[in-house]
Amino acid sequence: MGFAVTVGGRRVDCAADQSLLDACLRAGLWMPNSCNQGTCGTCKLKVVGGEVDHRDSPFDTLTAEERAAGLALACQARPVSDVEVGGAGDRSTHPLRDLTATVLEVADIARDTRRVLLGLPEPLAFSAGQYVELVVPGSGARRQYSLANTADEDKVLELHVRRVPGGVATDGWLFDGLAVGDVVAATGPLGDFHLPPESDDDGGPMVLVGGGTGLAPLVGIARTALARHPAREVVLYHGVRGAADLYDGDRFAELAEQHPNFRFVPVLSDEPSSEHRSGFPTDAFVDDVPSARGWSGWLCGPPAMVEAGVKAFKRRRMAPRHIHREKFTPADALG
Amino acid sequence: MTTTEKPDLSWLDDVTMTELERNPYRTYERLRAEAPLAFVPVLGSYVASTAEVCREVATSPDFEGVITPAGGRTFGHPAIIGVNGDIHADLRSMVEPALQPVEVDRWIDDLVRPIARRYLEQFENDGRAELVSQYCEPVSVRSLGDLLGLQSVDSDKLRDWFAKLNRSFTNAAMTEEGEFANPEGFREGDEAKAEIRAIVDPLIDKWIEEPDDSAISHWLHDGMPPGQTRDREYIYPTIYVYLLGAMQEPGHGMASTLVGLFSRPEQFEQVVDDPVLIPRAISEGMRWTSPIWSATARISTKDVTVAGVDIPAGTPVMLSYGSANHDSGVYEAPSTYDLHRPPLPHLAFGAGSHACAGIYFANHVMRIALEELFEAIPNLERDTGEGVEFWGWGFRGPTSLHVTWEV
Ligand SMILES: Cc1cc2nc3c(=O)[nH]c(=O)nc-3n(C[C@H](O)[C@H](O)[C@H](O)COP(=O)(O)OP(=O)(O)OC[C@H]3O[C@@H](n4cnc5c(N)ncnc54)[C@H](O)[C@@H]3O)c2cc1C
Ligand code: HEM
Ligand code: FES
């Protein structure tokens, strides 16, 4: 007889006489382990659902209190029911919801770029930087769009959408026929691209780099970060092809007026300009910031730009665990 | 084995210590293929070389722990790795309290992180470093040194001690008559021990009178009737076990993991970007180049047959965990470092009642050290102008690792 062991959303079959560790490793799912005989404690994990038999787990390695708290040694424990194993420090997330939204506004704000405002009947709990998934009417296809909102702007969702030629969701719908009053089906909030909880946010300097409509979540994140620590250093780079792709300049000028340590830096890649920086935004960061130690970094937009940003941030010695990224991976490449 | 025909192992007569220390893999690959349990003349001992046979011998009720001849010559008696029964149980009960997971969890971060930070601060703005001597070894010895109560012994001294004890412990070459082939090779170990005694004896004198929370103070007092302490002659051999293996191996482990990762730039990148992968990277590093490559042994307690070989009672067998972890019957392309290989247990920490007592501590020391290294220098690159050489048969790791980065 066998049971299902669920680890971080993955289900693995585990025979009644098989250790949780053995079942996971055989399924190609790595978990920490060293001695495989119950003596080192490396494989200790938390059973959050179901029950296990601790078998020969020595009390030296797994104390009675730890057993009572639901801990187990994966290399010794056998399932006696289906078992769910907790991940490291389960983060609480906002519950995922199915949403029925109404289009309140559709505005062309830059070349091939639209702002779409969606009204919700009920407020939505989310963290600035997360995204929602829209269902494309007719096709049933789902596409992700980041929220430009702060968490208290919870009744009207703001999306920035860039047209993709021939795109099902964009060319075929959001840029063609979408009208005020339309009803849109969506799910959200999704994603882990958001600030740490306020209690863990020490107000350290931040650099944000958005490519095209990759700016959207950064609008919410930057405003949230500045609301928490009005004097913190925040540099926001907006990378686009040409001046015609820029938008929301006034909004950032206003933010800069309120926050002396906030800077908005548009960077044009395909167009010489006397007014704006040229090149790639991640290179502009490397030129501007000699050391990003102690900074956090936020990257959103085309995958190649995000990858370049990770390299640029590390080059300036930003700690990798403070590098956050959101890639606008095309749906057909999401797999 | 299905055949009773004995393989021709005369090629083993030509194997030398120097060759094994430089690169043991060729010899052991052949041993695994031809004779997973074989008598190796230069070592004067039987050797277990496959995962299956190492595990069998290490955990068999028909075997017990024994120290290798050169090891015994270096550490003396009763070293924890070479005793059994009540003495072994007493020594395990002496060392284990400080190494229990719940205990280690309580202080490991506060112990190791500041040490790692301190060493990083000394070179993080230089743009280049030799990580074995400037980081891996210092973090390793300082963490354990402070735990043991050896705060007053500087890190370079602790590094010097393990290096000398190492060369003495692995001075394993035997003559046909069963004598040490190179008795001179024990001299530097003897000198190190004399120095250790000169420094540690006064500390022991103090701990006898004024116990504190250091591990060695606990070793003296724990479980003893009031007013009594364990005799220092009784604990010194195990102090030497610590001053060699426990001091040296986390440093070897970190350095080997780094070299392995450097051999797979995309995997290096993944681990730097996602520190959650560090424990897995270390685990593969331990498999790829096992720090305790071939240093411990077991002895048969009765006539037994292992891997088709009949061995009489009282026969020592060396456990070559570093070879077992390259067993192609278990691991595909074992000599390749691969973070993503199918995750299977390895034998780098041994098995059975003599398995490593410091696994949990060692894994965390290595994890925290690499976390801090990648956090401070995420743009680390191997200095390709400098080669990397591994050395060692008993204990193995890179002798140096030059790196550069943009500051
Ligand atoms: C987490 C997440 C958040 C996102 N947030 C936003 C957002 O806030 N704003 C936004 O505009 N988009 C965002 N996207 C991208 C969005 O989800 C769609 O992929 C995009 O709008 C294209 O959808 P489509 O149906 O129009 O094109 P599809 O029909 O999916 O694609 C048509 C063709 O164009 C290619 N293609 C798709 N996108 C691109 C591109 N960017 N460049 C070049 N070729 C492309 C496809 O590979 C395909 O061949 C996000 C994506 C993810 C994964
Ligand atoms: C990466 C680092 C380390 C590795 C790879 C390692 C590996 C090993 C191995 C292979 C053995 C022999 C097991 C056997 O014969 O089956 C051993 C024994 C031992 N190790 Fe470790 N070790 C490491 C670090 C440590 C540390 C830091 C400590 C203490 C703090 C420690 C304490 C011991 C002890 C006490 C023994 C002897 C156990 C006995 O014989 O009962 N080790 N180790
Ligand atoms: S792996 Fe050592 S206790 Fe499970």
Best probe of the A interface among B249, B359, B407, by most A CBs < 10 A, is B359
The torsion angle over the Cα atoms of residues B237, B242, B248 and B250, rounded to 10 degrees, is 150
Please say whether the beta carbons of B136 and B251 come within 8 A: yes
The confidence score (pLDDT) of residue A253 equals 97
Measure in Å the smallest separation between the Cα of A305 and chain B Cα atoms: 16
The confidence score (pLDDT) of residue A90 equals 43
Helix (H, G, I), strand (E, B) or coil at A283: helix
Nearest of B261, B294, B259 to residue B278 by alpha carbon: B261
Residues having CB within 6 Å of any atom of ligand 3: A 33-36, 38-43, 61, 73, 75
Considering every ligand atom shown, identify the ligand nearest to the alpha carbon of residue A43 and give its number: 3
The confidence score (pLDDT) of residue A309 equals 98
Strand pairing category for A183-190 and A131-135: antiparallel
The confidence score (pLDDT) of residue A193 equals 93
In this prediction, residues B270-281 reach a mean pLDDT of: 94
Tracing tokens 């007889």 back to the chain, one arrives at A1
The confidence score (pLDDT) of residue A89 equals 44
Please say whether the beta carbons of B206 and B253 come within 8 A: no
Structure tokens at A158: 């703001």
Helix (H, G, I), strand (E, B) or coil at A130: coil
In this prediction, residues B74-93 reach a mean pLDDT of: 97
Please say whether the beta carbons of B238 and B246 come within 8 A: no
Helix (H, G, I), strand (E, B) or coil at B347: coil
The confidence score (pLDDT) of residue B328 equals 97
Centroid of ligand 1 to alpha carbon of A161 (angstroms): 9
Q: Do B272 and A320 touch (CB under 8 A)?
A: yes
The torsion angle over the Cα atoms of residues B277, B279, B285 and B286, rounded to 10 degrees, is -160
Q: Judge whether residue B262 has pLDDT over 50.
A: yes
The confidence score (pLDDT) of residue A147 equals 98
The confidence score (pLDDT) of residue A10 equals 86
Q: Is the CB of A164 under 6 A from ligand 1?
A: yes
Please say whether the beta carbons of B108 and B96 come within 8 A: no
Strand pairing category for B296-300 and B63-66: antiparallel
Give B328-340 pLDDT, tens digit per residue.
999 999 999 999 9
Buried b (16+ CB within 10 A) or exposed e, B325-353: bbbeebbeebeebbbebebbbbbbbbbbe
Give dist(CA A241, CA A84) in Å, integer: 48
In this structure, the number of other CB atoms found within 10 A of the CB of residue B307 comes to 17
Give B287-309 pLDDT, tens digit per residue.
999 999 999 999 999 999 999 99
The confidence score (pLDDT) of residue A335 equals 54
The confidence score (pLDDT) of residue B264 equals 98
Give dist(CA B57, CA B59) in Å, integer: 6
Give dist(CA B326, CA A67) in Å, integer: 36
Asked if B374 is an interface residue toward chain A (Cβ–Cβ < 8 A), one would say: yes
In this prediction, residues B11-23 reach a mean pLDDT of: 96
Centroid of ligand 1 to alpha carbon of A148 (angstroms): 17
Give dist(CA A14, CA A23) in Å, integer: 5
Q: Is the CB of A76 under 6 A from ligand 1?
A: no
Along the 335 residues of chain A, how does pLDDT read in single tens digits?
A: 799 999 887 899 999 999 999 999 888 888 888 888 898 898 999 999 999 999 999 998 899 999 999 999 999 999 999 999 985 444 556 877 899 999 999 999 999 999 999 999 999 999 999 999 999 999 889 999 999 999 999 999 999 999 999 999 999 999 998 999 999 999 989 888 999 989 999 999 999 999 999 999 999 999 999 999 999 999 999 999 999 999 999 999 999 999 999 999 999 999 999 999 999 999 999 999 999 999 999 999 999 999 999 999 999 999 999 999 999 999 887 65
The confidence score (pLDDT) of residue A32 equals 87
Best probe of the B interface among A7, A34, A45, by most B CBs < 10 A, is A34
Q: Do A60 and B96 touch (CB under 8 A)?
A: yes
Centroid of ligand 3 to alpha carbon of A39 (angstroms): 6
Centroid of ligand 3 to alpha carbon of A12 (angstroms): 19
Q: How far apart are the first and last CA of chain B?
A: 58
Q: Judge whether residue B1 has pLDDT over 70.
A: no
Q: How many CB pairs under 8 A join A and B?
A: 85
In this structure, the number of other CB atoms found within 10 A of the CB of residue B207 comes to 21
Give A22-40 pLDDT, tens digit per residue.
999 888 888 888 888 898 8
Residue B366, C-beta contacts closer than 8 angstroms, at least 6 positions apart: B250, B253, B254, B257, B282
Phi, psi of A197, deg, nearest 5: -55, 150
Q: Judge whether residue B3 has pLDDT over 80.
A: no
Give A112-155 pLDDT, tens digit per residue.
999 999 999 999 999 999 999 999 999 889 999 999 999 999 99
In this prediction, residues B23-52 reach a mean pLDDT of: 97
Helix (H, G, I), strand (E, B) or coil at B396: coil
Centroid of ligand 3 to alpha carbon of A41 (angstroms): 5
Nearest of B91, B370, B134 to residue B239 by alpha carbon: B91
Q: Name the band, by pLDDT with cuts 50, 70 and 90, for residue B195.
A: very high
Tracing tokens 């720090």 back to the chain, one arrives at B291
Asked if B351 is an interface residue toward chain A (Cβ–Cβ < 8 A), one would say: yes
Q: Which of B342, B345, B407 sits opposite A36 (nearest CB)?
A: B345
In this prediction, residues B195-214 reach a mean pLDDT of: 97
Give dist(CA B108, CA B372) in Å, integer: 14
Phi, psi of A189, deg, nearest 5: -85, 155
Q: Do A29 and B343 touch (CB under 8 A)?
A: yes
The confidence score (pLDDT) of residue A331 equals 87
Measure in Å the smallest separation between the Cα of B358 and chain A Cα atoms: 8
**Of the residues A126, A161, A164, which should be mutated to test ligand 1's pocket, given the most ligand atoms within 8 Å of the CB?**
A164
